[in-house]
Structure 1
Amino acid sequence: MIQRRLKLLSANIQAGSSTRGYHDYVARSWSHVLPMGDKRGSLDAIAQLAGGHDIVGLQESDPGSLRSGFTNQTHYLAQRAGFAYWSHQPNRRMGGVASSANGILSRIEPTDVVVHSLPGRVKGRGVMLARFGRCDTPLTIAVAHLSLGASSRLDQLSFIAELLAGDPHAVLMGDFNCTIEQPEMDLLFKRTRLQPPPHAVPTFPSWAPLRAIDHVLVGDGLQAHARIAMPAAFSDHLALSVELDVPEHCLQ
């Protein structure tokens, strides 16, 4: 079987804000709602990182609110990193001055992009599905940012499991806000063909990573290699890079 090697990246970019320690959540809280700080410089650094990959899933990418200077950050990153295809899913609006979105950047043209709102106690979470190829089981990339609460995550993972059930060529990436060992993750692995990673890669907090809460999970019809965490400028999460072997026929 002919395989094609792709490089994937999942990155919570914190809307280009800088967090270099817990004190910054208070000291630099203004940067999360106002167009201040060197967000453009951070985005340029993230674009350089993203440019070494074929498909990138973004979380907390501002779709064009006050805090980003009304810049659609997913579009900006696509342009700066040379991606021909991009799409985004605006989700949360915060106080009328900030907004957050999931995003996908790709060098391969998707055949379909679908967005879904996720259930949860607090609305404003979503999942994007991009499909590449026209066969019965094309490569499917899902990008999600899950809730902080375990009960909401359980509902969200149940919803995602229905979308990806039975798909051997599915990939689910994003900020899960939980480790693989959490009980709600069991449901995902039981109801889909996604596989737990062979080892944990801590991604949070970025300045002293202790928790593996950002994941790239792949179906049993794919092979993942070289899981590496790397800085996404000064986001509070490290980005997670994975090399993926995909059957060539899935992309046709």
Structure 2
Amino acid sequence: MATRRLKLLSANIQAGSSTRGYHDYVARSWSHVLPAGNKRGALDTIARLAGSYDIVGLQESDPGSLRSGFTNQTHYLAQRGGFDYWSHQPNRSVGGVASSANALLSKLEPIAVDDHPLPGRIAGRGVLLARFGSGDAGLVIAIAHLSLGATSRRAQIAFIAELLHGQRHAVLMGDFNCLPDRPEMELLYRRTQLQPPTCRVPTFPSWRPQKAIDHILVTGALAQDGMQALPAALSDHLALSIQLDVPEQALRQA
């Protein structure tokens, strides 16, 4: 069966803000609500990294609030990174001062992109679902940023499992805020064809990675290779990359 190798990247970009240690959460808290700091420079660094990939999933991309200088960061990265296709899912806004989105950057044309709100004790989480190719064998890419609390996270994972149930060629990427062997993660492995990661790659905190809480989960029908963590400018998360061998038929449009 003919396949095409695709390079995928997932990154929590923290809206272009800089965090180089736990003290910055307090000392530089202003950067999360004001358009100060070198956010544009950080975005340019992220664009250079992202530009060498075929499909990129972003978390905490600001869709255009005060802290980003009213710049739609996903659109900016698409232009700077050479992506013809982009979409975003604004999912949390703090009085117009700060906003956050899941986002897709792609050099392949999706046939559909849908966004779904996720359940949880506090509203504002979502999953962005992109479909490539046609029919049941098409490639599905889901991008999510899950809650900190286990109870909400379990409900969110159950929702995503329903969306991806029965999909042979599927990828779920994002900031899960939990390790891959947490009890709630077992829902994904039982109810979908997504597989536990073949290795743990610590991504948080970026300055001293100890916790594997960012993941790219892939169904067993897709061969994968080269999982690694990479700096996403000065975000508090490292980005995660992978290479997949995807059947040509999963990308072919009817």
Which category of TM-score, normalised to the shorter sequence, fits these structures? over 0.9
Task: Tell me which moved more, 92-101 or 65-74.
Answer: 92-101
Instruction: Name the aligned partner's letter for residue 16 of structure 2.
Output: G
**Counterparts of residues 72-221 of structure 1 (less than 5 Å):** 72-221=72-221
Residue 23 in 1 paired to residue 23 in 2?
yes
Q: Distance in 2 between matches of 1:207 and 1:75?
A: 28
What's the % identity of the aligned pairs?
72
Distance in 2, Cα, partners of 1:41 & 1:27: 20
- Per-residue displacement from partner, 1:21-79 (whole Å, max 9, x unpaired)? 00000000000000000000000000000001000000000000000000000000000
Paired residue secondary structure (1:194): coil
Give the C-alpha shift of residue 136 in structure 1: 2.2
- Cα distance in structure 2, aligned partners of 1:132 and 1:186: 26
Is the partner of 1:177 in helix, strand or coil? Answer: coil
Tell me the secondary structure at the aligned position of residue 37 of structure 1.
Answer: coil
Question: Is residue 4 of structure 2 the alignment partner of residue 4 of structure 1?
Answer: yes
CA distance in 2, matches of 1:120, 1:192: 21
| Contact residue 135 and residue 249 of structure 1 kept, 8 A | no
Query: Distance between the aligned counterparts of 2:74 and 2:96, measured in 1?
Result: 20
Per-residue CA deviations over 1:184-213 (Å, capped at 9, x if unaligned) read: 001111000000111100000000000000
Partners of 1:233 and 1:244 in 2: CA distance: 24
Q: Please give the secondary structure, in 2, of the residue aligned with 1:195.
A: coil
Q: Where in structure 2 are the equivalents of 1:222-237 lying within 5 Å?
A: 222-237=222-237
Separation of aligned partners in 1, 2:207 and 2:244: 27
Q: CA deviation at 1:135?
A: 2.9
Following the alignment from structure 2 to structure 1, what is the Cα–Cα distance between the partners of residues 134 and 185? 30
Matching of residues 50-61 of structure 1 within 5 Å: 50-61=50-61
Secondary structure in 1 matching 2:15: helix
Offset at 1:142? 0.1
Contact 2:176 2:213 in 1 (8 A): yes
TM-score, normalising length from structure 1? Answer: 0.99
The answer to whether the aligner puts 1:239 opposite 2:239 as a matched pair is yes
> How does the TM-score come out when normalised to structure 2?
0.98
Count matched residues.
252
C-alpha displacement of 1:245: 0.7
Q: Give the partner amino acid of 1:193.
A: Q
Deviation at 1:137, TM superposition (A): 2.0
Whole-angstrom distance in 1 between the partners of 2:33 and 2:91:
16
Paired AA for residue 237 in structure 2? H
* Whole-Å separation in 2 of the counterparts to 1:225 and 1:51: 19
Secondary structure in 1 aligned to 2:178?
coil
- Opposite residue 54 of structure 1, the aligned amino acid is D
User: Which shows bigger deviation, 129-138 or 196-205?
Assistant: 129-138
Structure 1 letter corresponding to 2:156: Q
Amino acid at match of 1:140: V
AA of the residue aligned to 2:211: R
Alignment map for 1:61-72 (pairs within 5 Å): 61-72=61-72
Once residues 146 and 247 of structure 1 are traced to their aligned partners in structure 2, the CA distance between those partners, rounded to angstroms, is 29
C-alpha distance in structure 2 between counterparts of 1:109 and 1:9, whole Å: 17
Q: Which residue of 2 aligns with 1:35?
A: 35
Matched to 2:122, the amino acid is: V
In structure 1, give the amino acid aligned to 2:36: M
Alpha-carbon distance between aligned partners in 1 of 2:160 and 2:207, rounded to the nearest angstrom: 31
Contact kept? 2:136, 2:167, Cα under 8 Å = no
User: Which runs of 5 or more residues in structure 1 are unaligned?
Assistant: none
